[in-house]
Amino acid sequence: MTIISTSEKPIYLDSSVSVSERVKDLVGRLTLEEKVGLMGHESKGVPRLNIPRYNYWSEALHGIARSGKATVFPQAIGMAATWNKNLIREVASAIGDEGRAKYHAALRRNGYTDQYQGLNMWSPNVNIFRDPRWGRGQETWGEDPFLTGEMAAEFVRGLQGDHPKYLKTAACAKHLAVHSGPEKDRHTFNAIVTKRELFDTYLPAFRKLVVEADVEAVMGAYNRILGEVCCASKLLLEDILRDQWGFKGHVVSDCLALADFHQSHKVTKDAAESAALALKHGCDLGCDHVFDEIPEAIARGLITEADVDRALERSLATRFKLGMFDPPEEVPYASITTDVVGCEAHRQLAYQTAAEAVVLLKNKNNILPIKPTTKKIFVTGPTATSVEVLLGNYYGFNNQMVTLLEGITGRVPEGMGMEYHSGAMLKHPREIKETWAPAMAQNSDLAIVCAGFSSFLEGEEGESLLSPQNGDRSSISLPASQANYIKELAIHGVKIVLVLTGGSPIALGEIEDMVDAVVFIWYPGMEGGRAVADVLFGDTSPSGKLPLTFPKSLDQLPAFDDYSMNRRTYRYSTEEPLYPFGFGLSYSRFEYTDLQIDKQSIKAGEVLPVKVTLRNQGNRRAAEVVQLYLSDLKASTIVPLHHLIGFEKVTLEAGESRDIRFSVTPDMLSFYNDDGKLTLEPGEFKLEIGGCSPGKRGQELGAPSPVIAFFEVK
C-alpha cells in the first residue's frame, strides 16, 4: 500500500477544493480495474490510495434496518397517515443520526463498512400505491402524488441534514418508475401508461424530491416502462431526470435489475451488453456484478472509458459530500456516537409517530375512548401479543418492543378487570374448536379484538407466507380464521373494538357492521402498544387520516397489472369506498366555516389566496388535518375528479378557532395534457376544504361538512 504523505497531499484529499475538482482528480488516478471495482454496491476500495472498501446498500425505510439495534418507527404508510410533515422530518433526522453513529462505529471497529453499515440510505420509496393488492405498498406514502411528495420530501431533508457542505446521510428516491406490482412479474413486466398518466400520477413525487428536496440518489425499478428497462431508460434517466429536472446525484440500479436485462427482459444478449446499456443511459452504480463486465464492453466497442468516468464521478461525488475523504474533525456528523441509537428521545418520537398514525374509522355510540367506569375489558386476537405486527418490512430491532397486550396492560387503570385469550390464529383455523373466548368476552364490557395482517402476509417478492413467490395479496379481506372468530364473538352479543394492523387496505365486508369501533394502526413500530393503548383510553385523541382509499372489495378495481389510472384511487374512481382517502375520526368535533377567496376570477398565472376558519367544537384538545382539494370543471382532457393541493395538521384546544391559509398557485391549477406537458387553461374551478376527500361517503361516516367555493381562471 502506498502511503500518501501530507506534503504530497493530492487534490482529492484537499477539503477546501470543490467536490467536482476532487472527484475528477481521484478518477484520474485510477486504473480501469480500480474504477470498475468502485462501481458496484460492494465497492472494493483502492488500497494504494488508502480508500477502504465500502458497501452502498443500507436501508432506512422507517428506522435503520438490518443492522442490529435501532429505533423502530412506524412503517412508512403509517408515517404517511400522520399527515404531519414536521414530525416526519424529525423522525428522519433521528434515523440519520443513528445511521451516522453506526457507520462511524463500524469504521472504528474494522476500518471499513459492510452491507447495512453505510451512509447511503436506500429510502424513501415514493412509488404510488395504486392497487391494494401490492405487498410493498406498505413501504410507500400512499396513493396520492401530492401527499407522497410533500411527506417524502421532509423525510429526505431529515435524512440528509441541513449542513451547507456535508450530507448527514444520502437519501435515495425509489423505484423510478411506474412500479407497484405484481411482485411475481416485476422482473419481466412492461408498464404501459400514457404520457399524461406518467406525469400526472407516477412522476410528481420523484420530481418533488429531485427538484425541491435535492435527494442525492435515485434508484431505478426492475420493470420496463413503454418498452425500455427502467434502469436504462432514455426517457426516464436522460430526458426527464437529467435534462428536465436537472438531477445532479447518482442513479443506482435495484438489486439484480441489471442482470434482468439479459436474463428476464431479453433486451440484451449478455452481461457486457447490459452493462453498456445501463452506463450509456445514465445508471451509475450497479447492485449486482454486471458492471464487472465493463472491460469486456469497452473491448467490444460498446462503451468507452469516458462513459465509465462519468458514472463513477457521480457516485464518488456522493461519498465526498458524506465526508468520507475528509478528516473526521471537519465533518460535523462524525461526532455522533452510538448513545443515540434507541435513545429515550428517539423512543418518544417513535411513540408520538405511532399515536398520530392511528386512524379511527368507526366509533359507534362513542364507545371509544374506553370510559373510566368500564368494569372489565377482554383483549383477544392473533396480533395482540405479536412482535411481528409492530415491524412492517425492512425493519430494525429493539429490545423494548411494546406489543398491543403489553401496552394495554400498562395503561389499564387499577380496579378495571382484564382478561386475555388469543382466540384465533393469524391465518390458520384453530386446532381447538371449542374455546372459552366468547364466554370471556360476554363477561366483559367490551372486547378489544387485535386482528389484521403482519408483514409476513404481505411484502416484497418472496416474503409472504400466504403467497411465498410474490408477496402480494390475492384477497384484501381478513383471513377466514380471523373473520370467523370476530363473527363468533358478534353472535354472542359482544361489544367489539376492532384494532387492525396492516400495511394496506382491508375490506371488512359484513364484519364492519358487526363491530362497534374500527381502529387502524398500520405496523406501528416499537412503541405501538403503548401509543395505541393511550388512544384507546383517551389520553390522546386519534388524528390519523387515511393516505389511501379502502375499497369495499376487489370488484371495484381494475386488473392488478393494469397500470392505467382509470377507476383507481380517489382521484379517478367513482365507486363508493368502504373508507375514503383522507378520512379519520376524532374524539372531538371540528367545524369548517368562512371559506374566503380574494377573487371570484383570476388571470392565468396569478396566485389565489385562500382562508378558512377551523373550530374545535368538542370539549377536549385534539388535532385535525385540514385538506384542500381542487377540481378542474372544464378541462380539455382527462383530469382528476378532484385532487389534493394542500394540507395542514392543526391542534386546537376545546372551543378554540383558527384561521388556516393556503395559496393556490398556477402549477396547482395546471394539468398534464396528453403529451405529458403541464398546461394551464382558462375555465371554472372548484375548491373544497374539509377533513376528508370530497364525496358523500366521508360525511356519512362522520367527517365534518366541508366548505366549497368556485372561481374562474381567465
Catalytic residues: 254, 458
Write the Ramachandran bin of 434: left for phi over 0, alpha for psi from -120 to 50, otherwise beta.
beta
What gap in Å lies between CA 659 and CA 595, rounded to an integer?
Answer: 10
- SS3 string, 390-415, reads HHCCCCCECCCCCCHHHHHHHHCCCC
Question: The C-alpha cell of 182 is what?
Answer: 405484481
* Inter-residue contact 480 to 513 (CB < 8 Å): no
| Residues 6+ positions from 45 with CB-CB distance below 8 Å | 37, 38, 51, 52, 53, 54, 112
| Residues 6+ positions from 302 with CB-CB distance below 8 Å | 272, 273, 276
| Residues 6+ positions from 257 with CB-CB distance below 8 Å | 220, 221, 222, 229, 230, 231, 287, 288
What gap in Å lies between CA 156 and CA 512, rounded to an integer?
Answer: 37
According to DSSP, residue 480 is labeled H
Q: Are strands 228-229 and 224-225 parallel, antiparallel or unpaired?
A: antiparallel
| Cis-peptide, bond into residue 182, ω within 30° of zero | yes
Question: The C-alpha cell of 296 is what?
Answer: 469486456
| Residues 6+ positions from 178 with CB-CB distance below 8 Å | 191, 193, 198, 202, 221, 223, 225, 230, 563
* Inter-residue contact 207 to 134 (CB < 8 Å): no
| Cis-peptide, bond into residue 429, ω within 30° of zero | no
CA distances from 190 to 177, 185, 259, 263, 611 (A): 11, 9, 16, 15, 45
Q: State whether residue 175 is helix, strand or coil.
A: strand
Question: Could you tell me which of 609, 581, 584, 605 has the C-alpha nearest to residue 694?
Answer: 581
Start-to-end CA span in the chain (Å): 71
Q: What values do phi and psi take at 296, rounded to 5? A: -65, -40
Question: The C-alpha cell of 432 is what?
Answer: 381447538
* Inter-residue contact 506 to 452 (CB < 8 Å): yes
Half-sphere exposure of 142 (CA within 13 A, CB side): 30
Question: The C-alpha cell of 456 is what?
Answer: 409476513
Strands (E), 255-410: 359-363, 376-380
